[in-house]
Amino acid sequence: MVTSPAMTQHASAFATVGITGKPGDPSVAETVSRLLPLLTRRKCRILLDAETTAANAGGAAKAVPRGELAAGADLVIAVGGDGTLINTARSLANRDDVALMGINRGRLGFLVDVAPERLEEDVQHVLRGDCIVEERMLLSAEVRRDSNDSVVSSSLAVNDVVVHRWDTARMVELTTHIDGELLNHHRSDGLVVATPTGSTAYAMAGGGPITHPRLKAMVLVPICPHTLSNRPLVVDATSRVEVRVSPEHTHHVRVSCDSQEDLGVVEESRLVIRSHPTPLRLVHPPGYGYFDILRAKLGWGGPSGGGSRSQKR
């Protein structure tokens, strides 16, 4: 087994395994029915998300609320697409001793890298501890009132925090500061603040750079800026990013975290974005390669060389 500075290999098995799924997707039931015998043979305690996989409960499996699943599992398997995995990751955000793995029943799948046709083999590797556990940075976002610095609303993000216009066709005016230093006054459709994980999501669509997940950094990408010189910027992960919306545009702006939770912006307030203290522990089966994923998902040409999982097996 190979160990890199940002990836650790764990020899211990996972005793309690939680399963979440994409709601309303019939392929989830089929996948869970294949998972349960594997987990039972390993004598794992199985927790099923009551909202998404309860119909598959039976035998050694127990349907529980998401909060109980998040508190009790050593490993959580998310069945669906990247959105399903991100939704699950958000519920695990304050635990540093739980790992998360994705089985792809969605479309693109940058994060859910276990293919259905390799499910049995890859899951058995992971359950034996023959896997790669990689730490991914998260973001915390807070809307803070200026008068007393109180938190109006807060959330976290695996991919990105996006400031965007929502009920107007006009651009909005934003002011950004990094660690208290003025960065820019700009007019645009909004701003994406992304983790390295999220650099291949909305940030990439907006012209931002692809940032390797081992980097401890945040990517700031303006959305359709009025000034062509307003370019994407990469800052250190320890930075404190503050965004203020001009008063006349406050009611036309929303803050979206991973496109799954919205924070309202109030007058005389600012959005504060920092790295979350607890990283996400993402599990990959042996043979995982980040650049293999990029080539496969982005359709980059050329042979995969020695890094592909099929050639490593």
The CATH number linked to 48 is 3.40.50.10330
Are the C-beta atoms of 25 and 80 separated by less than 8 Å?
A: yes
pLDDT of 309: 53
The answer as to whether 201 is a domain residue is: yes
Task: Assess whether pLDDT exceeds 50 at residue 2.
Answer: no
Residue ranges of E strands in the chain: 7-8, 16-21, 45-49, 61-64, 75-80, 99-104, 132-136, 139-145, 151-157, 160-165, 172-178, 181-188, 190-194, 217-223, 233-236, 241-245, 253-257, 261-264, 269-275, 280-284
Task: Assess whether pLDDT exceeds 60 at residue 9.
Answer: no
What confidence tier does 3 reach under pLDDT thresholds 50, 70, 90? very low
Are the C-beta atoms of 132 and 115 separated by less than 8 Å?
A: no
pLDDT of 145: 95
11 and 60 both lie in a single domain: yes
Selected residue with higher pLDDT from 222 and 106 = 222
* Helix (H/G/I), strand (E/B), else coil: 190: strand
What confidence tier does 89 reach under pLDDT thresholds 50, 70, 90? very high
Selected residue with higher pLDDT from 78 and 54 = 78
Task: Assess whether pLDDT exceeds 90 at residue 303.
Answer: no
pLDDT of 112: 93
Angle at 301 between CA 298 and CA 304, to 5 degrees: 95
Residue 252 structural domain: 139-275
Which whole number is the average pLDDT over 80-102?
94
Give the rounded percent of residues in the chain with a pLDDT score beyond 90.
74
The answer as to whether 1 is a domain residue is: no
Mean pLDDT of the chain: 89
Query: Can you tell me the distance from the alpha carbon of 308 to that of 296, in angstroms, rounded to the nearest whole number?
Result: 10
Lookup: tokens for 60: 């050694």
Catalytic residue list: 82
Task: Assess whether pLDDT exceeds 80 at residue 283.
Answer: yes
Query: Can you tell me the distance from the alpha carbon of 124 to that of 131, in angstroms, rounded to the nearest whole number?
Result: 10
Query: Can you tell me the distance from the alpha carbon of 263 to that of 257, in angstroms, rounded to the nearest whole number?
Result: 8
CB neighbour burial string for 191-230, b if at least 16 within 10 angstroms, e if fewer: bbbbbbbbbbbbbbebebbebebbbebbbbbbbebeeeeb
Tens of pLDDT, residues 153-205: 999 999 999 999 988 889 999 999 999 999 999 999 999 999 999 999 999 99
109 and 231 both lie in a single domain: no
Tens of pLDDT, residues 17-71: 999 998 888 888 899 999 999 999 999 999 999 988 876 666 668 899 999 999 9
pLDDT of 302: 61
Which DSSP state fits 4? B
pLDDT of 53: 80
152 and 271 both lie in a single domain: yes
31 and 46 both lie in a single domain: yes
Q: Give the number of domains in the chain.
A: 2
The bridge status of strand 16-21 relative to strand 45-49 is parallel
Are the C-beta atoms of 134 and 286 separated by less than 8 Å?
A: no
83 and 161 both lie in a single domain: no
Lookup: tokens for 186: 């700009």
166 and 197 both lie in a single domain: yes
Tell me the CB-side half-sphere exposure of residue 202, using CA atoms within 13 A: 25
- pTM higher than the cut 0.75: yes
The answer as to whether 167 is a domain residue is: yes
pLDDT of 79: 96
Which whole number is the average pLDDT over 295-308?
69
Query: Can you tell me the distance from the alpha carbon of 276 to that of 185, in angstroms, rounded to the nearest whole number?
Result: 26
262 and 144 both lie in a single domain: yes
Query: Can you tell me the distance from the alpha carbon of 220 to that of 199, in angstroms, rounded to the nearest whole number?
Result: 10
82 and 158 both lie in a single domain: no
Q: What is the CATH number of the domain that holds 243?
A: 2.60.200.30
Query: Can you tell me the distance from the alpha carbon of 208 to that of 161, in angstroms, rounded to the nearest whole number?
Result: 14
